[in-house]
């Protein structure tokens, strides 16, 4: 396997172009000069392929880790290995993409104030003053990664269960079954009272329920299921520490429709990365590909160039790290003199969103707050036919605004989600057009 060391070198004139946004390059027919279409962004990540370059893995797929060598060193070492060893390294790299890395092997950046709030809530629960805790933040702000830190921080002190329900509960029975699942209870209780008593008999647990939006589905029966869910966790909060992860706009809907803030006393808010946090994220990501922006080797010059790069990426992405990494990856290119070079950062082209009708935007809003919808669910929410919903969702998918997951058995089960790199861009557009509410 022929591997080049991904050492990036760049002349000062290119740095000036990067900072000023001049000398931009053109893209395919979906983009204009200096812009990157939403379809292209969604196609860059995630990609439906197992063949990924090392740079792509580091920037887009590997979590930030404290024990990773710079990629140049790692590949230099592998040059001395035989073909069998190289094959094992490739297999290991593939496993890292498919299997989430443990939190203790990763580097968590920022969120110190929020971490202390959750730790304090757990301490109060340990002192018999338990209350429900919610961690809320927009998609792509790192709520799941944040919650996972506590799973590994406390699992040696007390049993910790981390779950994310796949299907929304539409009946009281399903809501009870979901909660019993957290404790591996197989004998299903016959009533809410029996469920509460049974759960309170279990050894004390910390229960982290991520993606609360998956439990809220605007379909017949869901209201009673949510009431049951809230009642059970409220009545067991002294015995068990319940920590809920929820998207910001979903939280607003739960607050306005179900007054959830009357029951959840501790609310921890995450936002997209600040400029300082964002700089640390990009620095950690680019350290593993040995990125350099200047050719003279001067440390101060390199530092200044990197500061300008991170400021531009932060402004374009709004602190959404995955979007920023995709834009950075798109700017990396090969040239005859170096393994990689960098061209000016493109900005997202919002033309596709601006052309959406109100009907399109309402569909995007419902898909956003639910974290994804199947065709039959969209049809029920909008009181339309399966066929009409299918055409609507497929149209939005062809525009690059949705990512489809097709069912081979039933087209009504086709599942559509907003690509993870577009969540901030689409949410901001929906808010500006009164389709999502603060």
3-state secondary structure 168-234: CCCCHHHHHHHHHHCCCCCCCCCCHHHHHHHHHCCCCCEEEECCHHHHCCCCCCHHHHHHHHHHHHH
Mean pLDDT, the chain, rounded, equals: 81
Given a cut of 70, is residue 383 above it in pLDDT? yes
**CA–CA gap between residue 216 and residue 199 (Å, rounded):** 22
| Residue where a domain terminates, one of 217, 252, 269 | 269
| 94 and 133 together in one domain | no
| 260 and 285 together in one domain | no
| 289 and 265 together in one domain | no
Q: Is 271 exposed, middle or buried (0-12, 13-18, 19+ CB in 10 A)?
A: middle
What SS3 state is found at 142?
coil
- For 391-427, the pLDDT digits (tens) are 999 999 999 999 999 999 999 999 999 999 999 999 9
| 117 and 183 together in one domain | yes
Given a cut of 80, is residue 11 above it in pLDDT? no
| 117 and 205 together in one domain | yes
Instruction: Output the domain CATH number for residue 425.
Output: 1.10.10.10
The reported pLDDT for the residue numbered 216 is: 73
The more confidently predicted of residues 220 and 418 is 418
What share of the chain has pLDDT > 70, as a percent?
Answer: 79
Which residue, among 168, 185, 186, 183, has the nearest Cα to 228 in the 3D structure? 168
- pTM of structure: 0.80
Structural domains in the chain (count): 3
Q: Which of the given ranges, 79-88, 100-109, 254-263, 412-421, has the highest pLDDT on average?
A: 412-421
The answer to whether residue 339 is domain-embedded is yes
| 95 and 221 together in one domain | no
- The secondary structure element, H or E, covering residue 157 is none
The reported pLDDT for the residue numbered 203 is: 94
Region 157-162: mean pLDDT is: 91
| 260 and 157 together in one domain | yes
| 280 and 293 together in one domain | yes
Given a cut of 90, is residue 313 above it in pLDDT? yes
| 209 and 138 together in one domain | yes
The answer to whether residue 256 is domain-embedded is yes
| Residue where a domain terminates, one of 269, 302, 327 | 269
pLDDT band with cut points at 50, 70 and 90 for residue 320: very high
Provide the CB-side half-sphere exposure for 411 (13 A, CA).
9
Which structural domain, as residue segments, surrounds residue 376? 352-432
The reported pLDDT for the residue numbered 53 is: 84
Q: C-alpha 211: how far from its chain's center?
A: 11
| 307 and 237 together in one domain | no
Check: CB of residue 146 under 8 Å from CB of residue 136: no
| 126 and 212 together in one domain | yes
Region 174-192: mean pLDDT is: 89
What SS3 state is found at 246?
strand
| 128 and 260 together in one domain | yes
Given a cut of 50, is residue 257 above it in pLDDT? yes
Beta strands in 248-360 (DSSP E): 264-269, 332-333, 341-342, 347-349
The reported pLDDT for the residue numbered 34 is: 85
pLDDT band with cut points at 50, 70 and 90 for residue 22: very low
The answer to whether residue 6 is domain-embedded is no
- For 109-152, the pLDDT digits (tens) are 889 999 999 999 999 999 999 999 999 999 999 999 899 888 88
- For 322-381, the pLDDT digits (tens) are 999 999 999 987 655 555 567 889 999 999 999 999 999 999 999 999 999 999 999 999
Check: CB of residue 210 under 8 Å from CB of residue 133: no
């Amino acid at each position: 396997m022929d591997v080049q060391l991904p050492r990036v070198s760049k002349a000062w004139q290119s740095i000036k172009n990067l900072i000023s946004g001049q000398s931009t390059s053109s893209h395919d027919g979906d983009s204009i000069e200096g812009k990157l279409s939403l379809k292209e962004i969604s196609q860059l990540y995630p990609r439906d392929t197992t063949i990924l370059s090392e740079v792509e893995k580091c920037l887009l797929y590997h979590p930030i880790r404290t024990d990773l060598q710079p990629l140049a060193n790692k590949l230099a070492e592998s040059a001395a290995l035989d073909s069998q060893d190289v094959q094992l390294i490739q297999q290991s790299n593939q496993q890292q993409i498919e299997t989430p890395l443990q939190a203790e092997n990763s580097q968590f950046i920022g969120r110190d104030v929020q971490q202390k709030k959750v730790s304090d809530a757990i301490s109060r629960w340990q002192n018999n003053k338990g209350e429900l805790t919610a961690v809320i933040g927009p998609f792509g702000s790192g709520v799941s990664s944040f919650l996972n830190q506590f799973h590994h921080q406390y699992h040696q002190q007390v049993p910790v269960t981390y779950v994310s329900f796949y299907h929304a509960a539409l009946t009281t029975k399903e809501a009870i079954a979901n909660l019993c699942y957290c404790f591996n209870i197989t004998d299903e209780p016959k009533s809410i009272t029996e469920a509460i008593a049974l759960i309170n008999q279990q050894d004390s647990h910390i229960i982290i329920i991520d993606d609360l939006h998956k439990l809220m589905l605007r379909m017949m029966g869901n209201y009673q299921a949510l009431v049951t869910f809230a009642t059970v966790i409220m009545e067991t909060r002294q015995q068990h520490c319940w920590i809920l992860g929820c998207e910001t706009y979903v939280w607003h809907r739960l607050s306005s429709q179900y007054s959830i803030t009357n029951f959840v006393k501790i609310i921890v808010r995450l936002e997209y990365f600040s400029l300082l946090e964002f700089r640390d994220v990009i620095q950690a990501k680019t350290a593993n590909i040995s990125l350099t922006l200047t050719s003279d080797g001067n440390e101060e010059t390199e530092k200044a160039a990197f500061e300008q790069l991170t400021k531009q990426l932060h402004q374009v992405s709004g602190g959404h790290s995955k979007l920023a990494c995709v834009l950075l990856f798109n700017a990396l290119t090969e040239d005859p003199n170096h393994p990689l070079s960098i061209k000016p950062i493109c900005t997202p082209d919002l033309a596709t969103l601006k052309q959406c009708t109100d009907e399109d935007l309402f569909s995007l809003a419902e898909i956003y707050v639910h974290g994804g919808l199947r065709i039959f669910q969209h049809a029920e929410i909008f009181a339309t036919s399966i066929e009409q919903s299918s055409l609507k969702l497929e149209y939005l998918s062809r525009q690059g605004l949705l990512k489809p997951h097709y069912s081979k058995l039933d087209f009504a089960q086709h599942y559509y989600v907003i690509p993870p790199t577009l969540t901030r861009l689409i949410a901001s557009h929906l808010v500006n057009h009164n389709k999502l509410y603060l």
